[in-house]
C-alpha cells in the first residue's frame, strides 16, 4: 500500500522540486544513462514512501514512541533530502529506504503498544473496572482517533453509570422503596450486570410480596381485634397465598377459624334449641346436621338427626291425611292411616313428640274412628232377587237383611232371570244410620 501511495506522490514531488524535474524529463526523453534514471526513480519512490510514513508518525500525538530512534531516522531522512537535491540519487535512495525501514519499525512498535493497551482496556471492561478501562481507552484515543477506542469509551461510561445506578437501587431496596428501585432497575441493561439485575429483580419481587403479605397480616390482625372475623380470615388467606410459609398468617388464620367455629357452634345450638321449642322438626334436623359437622363433642348428634327427621316426615304425613279425610273411604288408605297411628305410639314411646304432633295425631284418630265406625244397613227384597253390594259381596236372596258397613259410597244391585237389573247408588255417612233400602228386580225385559 505504501508503494502504491508513493506512486501517487511522484507527481507532487516532481511539481515541487525543480531539481528533480529536469532529470526526470531527461530520463523520459532517453537522454540520460538508464542507470541514472533507475537510481532517480528508486530514490523518488523511496522518498515518497518515507514521507507517507513520516506524516503518519507526525499525526500520532503523545504516543510512547522511541524519540531517540526517531531523531536518528529523521536525521537520515534529512540527509536523503540533501543527497536527492544534489542529484546523488543512488545514495538518496538508500537513505530513504533506510528511513522507510526505521519508520516502519517505529510504527510497528507503536501498533504493538496500542494493541496491548486496547487489550488491557478490554480486560478492565470485562472485569467491570470501568474507571481503569475508561482511562486506558481515552489514552489510546488521545494518541490517535480510533473507532475501537471510542466504542470502548462509550461502554466504560455506560458501565460507570450503571454501577452508580445499582448502588442507588441497593440503597432503595434496603429502604424497602421497591417501586422506585424497580423503576431504576429498568434502566440497567444486561450487558454488564445481568446477574446483578436478576438478583435485584428477585429481591424487589420478594420485597414487594413481603410488603403485600405484611399489609394483609396487619389488616387481618386489626379486623380480628375489631371482631370482624370473616374479613380477618380473608386477609390471612391472602397473606398465605402470597407466602405459604408465613407462620404469622397460619397462626392468625387458625385463631380466627377457632373463634368462628365457636360462634358457629353456639349459633347452631341456639337454632337447635329454638327449633325444638317451636317444634320445627325440619329446622331442628338441619341445625343438628350442621352442628354435627363442626362440633366433635356433639356425640348425640346422629341419633337426634334421625329423630328429628322421623318427626318431620311423620308430621307431613299427618297433615296430608288430615287435609284429605275423604280418602279414608279407601281400604288401602285406611290401612295406611292405621299404620300411621301405630307409628305415633312408637315415636311417643321413644321420647317427646311435641304438643302439636300429639294434637294432630289425636285429631286423626278421632276422624279415623268416626269414619271407620260401621253403620247399620237394612236391605228389603222379595226373596227372589239376587242382591249384591259393591264394594262388598253377594248377599243372595232374602226378604230382609241387616248388615253393618263402614261409611262410604256403595253400589247395591239386584238381578232376577227375565227381569232388568235394579241398581241403587248409596252413600253411607258416619253417624248417619241406620239406613234402609229396598232392592227388587221387578221390571221385565
Q: What is the pLDDT of residues 22-36, one digit of tens each?
A: 455 456 555 555 788
Binned at pLDDT 50, 70 and 90, residue 4 comes out as very low
Per-residue pLDDT, 201: 92
Higher per-residue confidence, 1 vs 294: 294
pLDDT (mean) for 60-84: 89
Per-residue pLDDT, 331: 80
The strand pairing partners of 387, in sequence order, are 396, 414
Per-residue pLDDT tens over the stretch 209-254: 999 999 999 999 999 999 999 999 999 999 999 999 999 999 999 9
CB of 6 within 8 A of CB of 49?
A: yes
Residue 426 DSSP class: E
Residue 176: all three cell numbers together: 424497602
State how far the Cα of 323 lies from the Cα of 318, in Å rounded to an integer: 9
Reference 356, options 346, 367, 368, 344; nearest CA is: 344
Higher per-residue confidence, 290 vs 331: 290
Per-residue pLDDT, 400: 92
CB of 242 within 8 A of CB of 212?
A: yes
Reference 438, options 405, 413, 420; nearest CA is: 413
Per-residue pLDDT, 296: 85
Per-residue pLDDT tens over the stretch 120-152: 999 999 999 999 999 999 999 999 888 999 999
Q: 165: exposed, middle or buried (C-beta count within 10 Å: 0-12, 13-18, 19+)?
A: middle
| CB proximity list for 31: less than 8 A, separation 6 or greater | none
Give the alpha-carbon dihedral of 163, 165, 167, 173, to 10 degrees. -140
pLDDT (mean) for 92-100: 94
Q: At what angle do helices 190-225 and 247-278 cross, to 10 degrees?
A: 30
State how far the Cα of 76 lies from the Cα of 82, in Å rounded to an integer: 10
- How many other C-beta atoms lie within 10 A of the C-beta of residue 73? 24
pLDDT (mean) for 47-64: 90
Per-residue pLDDT, 27: 64
Per-residue pLDDT, 48: 94
Check whether domain 375-438 has CATH 3.90.850.10, yes or no: no
Q: 0.75 exceeded by the pTM? A: no
Reference 190, options 209, 215, 166, 212; nearest CA is: 166
Evaluate if residue 97 carries a pLDDT over 70: yes
3-state secondary structure of 143: helix
What mean pLDDT is reported for the chain?
88
Per-residue pLDDT, 401: 93
CB of 294 within 8 A of CB of 266?
A: no
3-state secondary structure 283-294: HHHHHHHHHHHH
Q: How many CA atoms lie within 13 A of 401 on its CB side?
A: 21
Higher per-residue confidence, 432 vs 137: 137
Per-residue pLDDT tens over the stretch 350-364: 999 999 999 999 999
Evaluate if residue 16 carries a pLDDT over 80: no
Reference 176, options 210, 139, 219; nearest CA is: 210
CB of 278 within 8 A of CB of 312?
A: no
- CA angle at 189 for the pair 183 and 193, rounded to the nearest 5°: 105
pLDDT (mean) for 165-194: 91
CB of 284 within 8 A of CB of 276?
A: yes
State how far the Cα of 174 lies from the Cα of 167, in Å rounded to an integer: 11
Element (H, E) at 390: strand 386-390
* Domain layout of the chain by residue ranges: 2-119, 302-372, 375-438
DSSP, residue by residue, 300-354: THHHHHHHHHHHHHHHHHHHHHHH-GGGGGSHHHHHHHHHHHHHHHHHHHHS---
State how far the Cα of 286 lies from the Cα of 280, in Å rounded to an integer: 10
Per-residue pLDDT, 93: 93
How many residues belong to the chain? 445
189: region left, alpha or beta (phi > 0 left; psi from -120 to 50 alpha) = beta
- How do 419-428 and 394-396 pair as beta strands? unpaired
CB of 383 within 8 A of CB of 419?
A: no
Per-residue pLDDT tens over the stretch 369-408: 888 888 889 999 999 999 999 988 899 999 999 999 888 8
Q: At what angle do helices 301-323 and 281-294 cross, to 10 degrees?
A: 160
Element (H, E) at 396: strand 394-396
| CB proximity list for 375: less than 8 A, separation 6 or greater | 404, 405, 406, 407, 428, 429, 430, 431, 432, 433, 434, 435
Amino acid at each position: 500500500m505504501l508503494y502504491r501511495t508513493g506512486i501517487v506522490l511522484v507527481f507532487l514531488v516532481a511539481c515541487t522540486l525543480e531539481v528533480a524535474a529536469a532529470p526526470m524529463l531527461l530520463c523520459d526523453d532517453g537522454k540520460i544513462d538508464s542507470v541514472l534514471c533507475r537510481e532517480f526513480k528508486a530514490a523518488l519512490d523511496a522518498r515518497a514512501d518515507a514521507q507517507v510514513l513520516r506524516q503518519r508518525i507526525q499525526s500520532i500525538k503523545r504516543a510512547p514512541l522511541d524519540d531517540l530512534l526517531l531523531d536518528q531516522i529523521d536525521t537520515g531522512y534529512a540527509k536523503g533530502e540533501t543527497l536527492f537535491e544534489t542529484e546523488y540519487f543512488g545514495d538518496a535512495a538508500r537513505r530513504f529506504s533506510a528511513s522507510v525501514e526505521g519508520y516502519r519499525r517505529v510504527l510497528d512498535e507503536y501498533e504493538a503498544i496500542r494493541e496491548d493497551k486496547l487489550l488491557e482496556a478490554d480486560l478492565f471492561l470485562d472485569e467491570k473496572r470501568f474507571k481503569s478501562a475508561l482511562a486506558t481507552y481515552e489514552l489510546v484515543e488521545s494518541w490517535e482517533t480510533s473507532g475501537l477506542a471510542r466504542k470502548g469509551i462509550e461502554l466504560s461510561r455506560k458501565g460507570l453509570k450503571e454501577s452508580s445506578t445499582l448502588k442507588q437501587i441497593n440503597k432503595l431496596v434496603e429502604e424497602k422503596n421497591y417501586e422506585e428501585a424497580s423503576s431504576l432497575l429498568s434502566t440497567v441493561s444486561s450487558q454488564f450486570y445481568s446477574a446483578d439485575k436478576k438478583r435485584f429483580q428477585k429481591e424487589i419481587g420478594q420485597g414487594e410480596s413481603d410488603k403485600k403479605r405484611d399489609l394483609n397480616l396487619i389488616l387481618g390482625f386489626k379486623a380480628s381485634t375489631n371482631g370482624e372475623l370473616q374479613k380477618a380470615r380473608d386477609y390471612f388467606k391472602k397473606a398465605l397465598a402470597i407466602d405459604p410459609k408465613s407462620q404469622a398468617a397460619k397462626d392468625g388464620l387458625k385463631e380466627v377459624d377457632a373463634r368462628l367455629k365457636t360462634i358457629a357452634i353456639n349459633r347452631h345450638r341456639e337454632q337447635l334449641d329454638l327449633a325444638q321449642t317451636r317444634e320445627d322438626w325440619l329446622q331442628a334436623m338441619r341445625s343438628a346436621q350442621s352442628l354435627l359437622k363442626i362440633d366433635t363433642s356433639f356425640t348425640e348428634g346422629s341419633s337426634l338427626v334421625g329423630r328429628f327427621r322421623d318427626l318431620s316426615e311423620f308430621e307431613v304425613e299427618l297433615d296430608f291425611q288430615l287435609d284429605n279425610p275423604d280418602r279414608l273411604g279407601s281400604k288401602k288408605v285406611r290401612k295406611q292411616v292405621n299404620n300411621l297411628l301405630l307409628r305415633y305410639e312408637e315415636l311417643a314411646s321413644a321420647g317427646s313428640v311435641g304438643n302439636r304432633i300429639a294434637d294432630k295425631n289425636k285429631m286423626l284418630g278421632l276422624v279415623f274412628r268416626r269414619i271407620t265406625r260401621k253403620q247399620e244397613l237394612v236391605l228389603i227384597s222379595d226373596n227372589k232377587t239376587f242382591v249384591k253390594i259393591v264394594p262388598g259381596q253377594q248377599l243372595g236372596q232374602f226378604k230382609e237383611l241387616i248388615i253393618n258397613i263402614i261409611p262410604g259410597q256403595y253400589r247395591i244391585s239386584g238381578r232376577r232371570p227375565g227381569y232388568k237389573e235394579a241398581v241403587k247408588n248409596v252413600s253411607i255417612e258416619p253417624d248417619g244410620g241406620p239406613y234402609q233400602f229396598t232392592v227388587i228386580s221387578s221390571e221385565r225385559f
